[in-house]
Amino acid sequence: MTPIQMTFSTNFLLGLMGLTFHRTHLLSALLRLESMMLSLFLATSLWALQLSTINIATVPMLVLAFSACSASSGLRLLVATARTHGSDHMQNLNLLQC
Protein backbone atom coordinates (compact mmCIF):
# COMPACT_ATOMS: atom_id res chain seq x y z
CA MET A 1 0.00 0.00 0.00
CA THR A 2 1.44 3.38 -0.84
CA PRO A 3 1.67 5.93 1.97
CA ILE A 4 -1.09 8.15 0.68
CA GLN A 5 -3.62 5.33 0.58
CA MET A 6 -2.47 4.28 4.02
CA THR A 7 -2.93 7.83 5.28
CA PHE A 8 -6.50 8.31 4.27
CA SER A 9 -7.42 4.77 5.29
CA THR A 10 -6.05 5.32 8.78
CA ASN A 11 -7.71 8.72 8.81
CA PHE A 12 -11.05 7.01 8.17
CA LEU A 13 -10.42 4.31 10.76
CA LEU A 14 -9.32 6.86 13.35
CA GLY A 15 -12.52 8.80 12.82
CA LEU A 16 -14.50 5.58 13.13
CA MET A 17 -12.72 4.58 16.32
CA GLY A 18 -13.22 8.05 17.75
CA LEU A 19 -16.90 7.78 16.92
CA THR A 20 -17.06 4.43 18.70
CA PHE A 21 -15.21 5.54 21.82
CA HIS A 22 -16.91 8.90 22.22
CA ARG A 23 -17.14 10.22 25.68
CA THR A 24 -19.36 13.10 26.54
CA HIS A 25 -20.42 15.41 23.79
CA LEU A 26 -22.65 14.77 20.80
CA LEU A 27 -20.81 17.48 18.89
CA SER A 28 -17.50 15.64 19.08
CA ALA A 29 -19.15 12.54 17.63
CA LEU A 30 -20.40 14.69 14.74
CA LEU A 31 -16.90 16.07 14.26
CA ARG A 32 -15.52 12.59 13.89
CA LEU A 33 -18.21 11.80 11.36
CA GLU A 34 -17.00 14.85 9.46
CA SER A 35 -13.43 13.61 9.56
CA MET A 36 -14.61 10.32 8.04
CA MET A 37 -16.33 12.18 5.21
CA LEU A 38 -13.20 14.27 4.76
CA SER A 39 -11.10 11.14 4.30
CA LEU A 40 -13.65 9.86 1.78
CA PHE A 41 -13.34 13.11 -0.17
CA LEU A 42 -9.56 12.78 -0.16
CA ALA A 43 -9.79 9.17 -1.29
CA THR A 44 -12.09 9.81 -4.24
CA SER A 45 -10.21 12.95 -5.30
CA LEU A 46 -6.93 11.06 -5.27
CA TRP A 47 -8.58 8.35 -7.32
CA ALA A 48 -9.45 10.93 -9.95
CA LEU A 49 -6.04 12.55 -9.84
CA GLN A 50 -3.73 9.58 -9.60
CA LEU A 51 -5.37 7.27 -12.09
CA SER A 52 -6.29 10.10 -14.49
CA THR A 53 -9.89 8.92 -14.62
CA ILE A 54 -11.22 12.41 -14.93
CA ASN A 55 -14.94 11.66 -14.77
CA ILE A 56 -14.62 10.29 -11.24
CA ALA A 57 -13.98 13.89 -10.14
CA THR A 58 -17.76 14.29 -9.94
CA VAL A 59 -17.87 11.80 -7.06
CA PRO A 60 -16.04 13.96 -4.48
CA MET A 61 -18.28 16.92 -5.26
CA LEU A 62 -21.45 14.90 -4.74
CA VAL A 63 -20.06 13.19 -1.64
CA LEU A 64 -19.29 16.62 -0.24
CA ALA A 65 -22.80 17.87 -0.95
CA PHE A 66 -24.46 14.93 0.76
CA SER A 67 -22.08 14.99 3.69
CA ALA A 68 -23.04 18.63 4.16
CA CYS A 69 -26.66 17.45 4.32
CA SER A 70 -25.86 14.89 6.98
CA ALA A 71 -23.74 17.32 8.97
CA SER A 72 -26.48 19.91 8.98
CA SER A 73 -29.08 17.36 10.08
CA GLY A 74 -26.80 16.22 12.87
CA LEU A 75 -26.19 19.76 14.00
CA ARG A 76 -29.89 20.51 14.09
CA LEU A 77 -30.42 17.41 16.22
CA LEU A 78 -27.71 18.80 18.48
CA VAL A 79 -29.61 22.08 18.72
CA ALA A 80 -32.80 20.18 19.54
CA THR A 81 -30.95 18.19 22.22
CA ALA A 82 -29.54 21.35 23.72
CA ARG A 83 -32.97 22.93 23.79
CA THR A 84 -34.69 20.04 25.52
CA HIS A 85 -31.92 18.65 27.72
CA GLY A 86 -29.95 21.81 28.35
CA SER A 87 -26.65 20.45 27.05
CA ASP A 88 -25.47 17.94 24.50
CA HIS A 89 -24.14 15.41 26.95
CA MET A 90 -24.77 11.89 25.74
CA GLN A 91 -25.66 10.59 29.19
CA ASN A 92 -28.76 12.79 29.19
CA LEU A 93 -30.18 10.94 26.19
CA ASN A 94 -31.61 8.14 28.28
CA LEU A 95 -35.35 8.29 27.74
CA LEU A 96 -35.46 4.65 26.64
CA GLN A 97 -34.08 3.39 29.94
CA CYS A 98 -36.34 2.11 32.65
Partner 1 sequence: MSYLVCVLLFGLMVGSVGVASNPSPYFAAMGLVMVSGVGCGVLICFGGSFLPLVFFLIYLGGMMVEFAFSAALSAEPYPYGWGNRSVKMYVAAYVLGVGCAWKVLLGKWSGFWGGILDESGELLVLRGDMMGVAAMHDVGGWILVLGGLGLLLTLFVVLELVRGVSRGGLRTV
Residue 78 half-sphere exposure toward CB, CA atoms < 13 A: 16
Smallest gap from Cβ 31 to partner 1, in A, equals 5
Q: Output 6 or 93, the one with its CB closest to partner 1.
A: 6
Asked if 90 and 25 touch (Cβ cutoff 8 Å), the reply is yes
Smallest gap from Cβ 62 to partner 1, in A, equals 6
Buried b (16+ CB within 10 A) or exposed e, 58-74: ebbeebbeebeeeeeeb
Query: Cα(57)–Cα(83) distance, rounded to whole angstroms?
Result: 40
Query: What does the binding site for partner 1 look like in residue numbers (CB under 8 A)?
Result: 1-8, 10-11, 14-15, 17-18, 21-28, 30-32, 34-35, 38-39, 41-42, 45-46, 48-50, 52, 54-58, 60-62, 64-66, 68-69, 71-73, 75-80, 82-84, 87-88
Smallest gap from Cβ 91 to partner 1, in A, equals 13
